[in-house]
Structure 1
Amino acid sequence: MTVLSGGHTIGQARCDGFRNRIYNETNIDANFATTRRGSCPASGGDGNLAPLASSPNRFDNAYFSALVGGNSFFRSSSLGKGF
């Protein structure tokens, strides 16, 4: 699971793939959600991109750090925190 999830440390996500999380979920860092709303409006802009981690072109642990801190487009119930 960790290896599969780690593949998300590189790349970008489309707005239509994370819109619901940044507008409707509560288990996300509020500042992160607000920042991402700037490039992903509540409607439209489906193809707008946002980096999956702070270093989207490098394989490192930034994605995992973001995931634990609630600064991620994705959730991982395996962390035991409901992310």
Structure 2
Amino acid sequence: MTTAAFDARPVNLHRRARAANARLRWLLLTMMLLNVLVWGGMIAALRGVVDVHGTVDQAWALGSTWLAALPHLSVTITR
């Protein structure tokens, strides 16, 4: 007589739980890496290593270049 605790075959519930745990581990690792990136950027900005205003200006220039490169669409809605 075997019980579920000693059964060698994984139950579907255990498989789903393991998959959920794996996803949570990846999410946690990603969150930790992004947190380190954000805090590192804040510390670098405070120490003067990174010019925040220059970086923002570059981002705006890059964004406006991409928007200017997109074809302009004219959409007219009629009934």
Is the helix fraction higher in 1 or 2?
2
Structure-2-length-normalised TM-score: 0.21
Higher CA-based Rg = 2
Structure-1-length-normalised TM-score: 0.20
Higher RCO (Cα < 8 Å, 6 or more apart): 1
